[in-house]
Amino acid sequence: MISLISRNDWANVGYEYAKALKSIGVEAEAYSWNKHALAYPEQAKRIKSIYQLEHILGNTDILIHMHSKQCELPDKTKTYSSYGVKKNFVFHGGSIYRINYESINKIFNPFVDGSIIQTYDLWNLGAIKKHWILPPIDTEALKPNPNEIKHEVLIFAHYPSWSNKGSIKIINPTMEKIKKQYGDSIIYKYQSWETRVLHDENMKRMLDTDVYIESIYEPELKCGEWGVTALESAALGKITITNFGAYKEYFKEYGYCPLLVAGNAEELELQVTKLLQMSKGEIENQKIATRKWVEEFHNYKAIGNRLAKALGI
């Protein structure tokens, strides 16, 4: 039994990893102390007591400590192995590790059997026995709308998570500049960074776009590569623009990637301008290629097999 345990399962990653493992016949379950802030319709099982955690650990062969947080032992005098845990892994995937990697490595490196890294910007921060495994996407639940209305103008959108105000400082002024040049041939939709929108509602809004702009970070913010939202956008069949500093490394590890890369305002303007100059047929082909990519490389079975190999099962 593989247990993926977190205090907060950010971006629902632990739950999705567990489903990926289940898709290839591996017994796995994700647990979290807290409900997800964005109210995913399906998410990790809640841990409601220290006694329940003790029972979970007693039935766990491989423990994955999710989101750079060590699973607290119910009994401080015991070790993980005394509960029956044979292997320990840690998952690093966000700002918690990005900012505090030195202290986190001191905790995990002495005892884990491997480290799972989500974004490549975290790759060289000192974690041991690393495996670069991006989250899987439910390509059955998230798919293009077969009755999508073909818009006369291209609709671009940027719907950030509540905490991502950095991207708006770059994306909004750039898109306003482009709108002044191209006028009615472009529509741009966005939300204020203060607004937290639940997951299902955000997916509905993303469906009503042609191009989704995920994130472009100011360098001083020390943020990461593209995230789960880019994969969700791709699964919905949307052309996706995002920051991606490890494109070459991705090609070596995974393969072709149709995400459009923009690491700053100038690159964003270039990518958007290119799209505005494409024919409707070319736009549709780009959407189809994006959807096919996520179906092939980031479906449950593809990521489940990668994860199982990393775990040595």
**pLDDT means per 10 residues in the chain (313 residues)?**
96 96 98 84 91 94 97 91 96 91 97 96 95 94 83 86 66 90 84 72 90 77 72 96 88 91 91 93 95 95 97 95
The answer to whether the CB of 103 falls within 8 A of the CB of 70 is no
pLDDT at res. 270? 96
**Residue 163 in contact with residue 193, Cβ under 8 Å?**
yes
Whether residue 129 contacts residue 142, with contact meaning beta carbons closer than 8 Å, is answered with no
Residue 209, C-beta contacts closer than 8 angstroms, at least 6 positions apart: 155, 156, 157, 189, 238
Report the predicted TM-score, pTM, of the whole model to 2 decimal places. 0.91
Q: For residues 25 and 2, what is the distance between their CA atoms, to the nearest angstrom?
A: 12
Domain ranges of the chain: 2-136+301-311, 154-297
Predicted local confidence at residue 159, as pLDDT: 86
Q: What was the pLDDT predicted at 142?
A: 92
According to DSSP, the β-strands at 239-242 and 28-32 are unpaired
Asked if the domains 2-136+301-311 and 154-297 are classified in one and the same CATH topology, the answer is yes
Q: Which fold has domain 2-136+301-311?
A: Rossmann fold (3.40.50)
Q: What is the pLDDT of residue 18?
A: 98
What pLDDT is recorded for position 223?
53
Cβ-based neighbours of 175, under 8 Å, separated by 6 or more = 156, 158, 188, 190, 213, 272
CATH superfamily of 154-297: Glycogen Phosphorylase B; (3.40.50.2000)
Q: Which of 260, 275, 226, 311 is nearest to 24 (CA)?
A: 311
156 close to 209: Cβ distance less than 8 angstroms: yes
Cα atoms in the 13 Å half-sphere on the side-chain side of 186: 22
